[in-house]
């Protein structure tokens, strides 16, 4: 009986000691991952290419969004939170099919330009096409809303972010644009007959999330329990 109590006491002391060590180790590892992963939010709007002169715009059809100009459609990044502050511009791709969940991926490639969202003649645009620090689209859908004499179109975006170091963080966002002096019925009529609506300005936002500390603490306790289990087997 005394021997059993001694083993139980040793096991209790073992898990007590293991919890802070395991938790600290996981928080250190998670802290490094969070530092590398993209987290926070971005607000963006259409950009501009100086030569040839072209504003970034959308063409909207029933099952797709296509962006011009090509091959780079610049976007201007406005307010940011988290480590998205490292970027002032991006390159946005096409949604080829809403129903089949097909898009040009990465859907957004984040980078920087001398002037946010503006591609000057001879500008270095490599950061917008390097497929580093990106948002990959996994699904999207749109909704039409009557807003006075205009029709507002909201596009929901779902996917994940990949940092330059390969860390993944979940995320999503939206795109918004509008058709002036129209109705939902008139827009649906154009789309349902295979037509499209062009020269639409747009804006939007995205956000990324990383694991919460509470989740990491739970993992730390599980790790400590595993450490105790190994110690008890050794004592036995």
Q: Indicate whether 104 and 14 sit together in one domain.
A: no
Look at residue 234 and tell me whether its pLDDT is greater than 60. no
Q: Indicate whether 108 and 190 sit together in one domain.
A: yes
Look at residue 154 and tell me whether its pLDDT is greater than 60. yes
Among 23-32, 65-74, 97-106, which stretch is predicted with the lowest mean pLDDT? 23-32
Share of the chain above pLDDT 70, in %: 74
Side-chain-facing half-sphere of 108: CA atoms under 13 Å? 35
Q: Do the Cβ atoms of 68 and 57 come closer than 8 Å? A: yes
Q: Indicate whether 75 and 176 sit together in one domain.
A: yes
**pLDDT at 32 (0 to 100):** 46
Range of the domain at 223: 2-34+214-235
Q: Indicate whether 117 and 201 sit together in one domain.
A: yes
Q: Indicate whether 231 and 190 sit together in one domain.
A: no
Q: Do the Cβ atoms of 117 and 89 come closer than 8 Å? A: yes
pTM across the whole model: 0.76
Q: Indicate whether 224 and 107 sit together in one domain.
A: no
Are β-strands 48-49 and 118-119 bridged in parallel, bridged antiparallel, or unpaired? parallel
Look at residue 2 and tell me whether its pLDDT is greater than 90. no
Give the span between the Cα atoms of 183 and 192, in whole angstroms: 14
């Amino acid at each position: 009986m005394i021997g059993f109590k001694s083993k139980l006491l040793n096991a209790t002391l073992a898990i007590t000691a293991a919890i802070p060590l395991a938790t600290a180790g996981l928080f250190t590892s998670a802290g490094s991952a969070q530092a590398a992963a993209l987290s926070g939010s971005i607000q963006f709007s259409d950009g501009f290419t100086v030569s040839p002169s072209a504003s970034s715009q959308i063409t909207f059809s029933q099952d797709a969004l296509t962006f011009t100009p090509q091959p780079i459609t610049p976007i201007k990044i406005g307010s940011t939170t988290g480590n998205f502050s490292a970027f002032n511009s991006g390159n946005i791709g096409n949604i080829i099919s809403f129903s089949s969940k097909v898009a040009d991926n990465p859907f957004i490639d984040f980078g920087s330009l001398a002037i946010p969202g503006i591609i000057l003649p001879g500008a270095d645009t490599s950061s917008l096409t390097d497929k580093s620090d990106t948002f990959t689209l996994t699904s999207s859908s749109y909704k039409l809303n009557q807003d006075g004499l205009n029709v507002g179109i909201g596009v929901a975006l779902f996917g994940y972010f990949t940092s330059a170091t390969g860390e993944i963080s979940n995320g999503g966002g939206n795109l918004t644009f509008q058709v002036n002096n129209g109705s939902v019925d008139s827009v649906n009529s154009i789309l349902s007959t295979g037509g499209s609506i062009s020269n639409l300005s747009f804006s939007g936002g995205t956000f990324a999330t990383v694991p919460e500390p509470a989740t990491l603490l739970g993992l730390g306790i599980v790790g400590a329990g595993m450490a105790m289990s190994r110690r008890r087997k050794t004592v036995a």
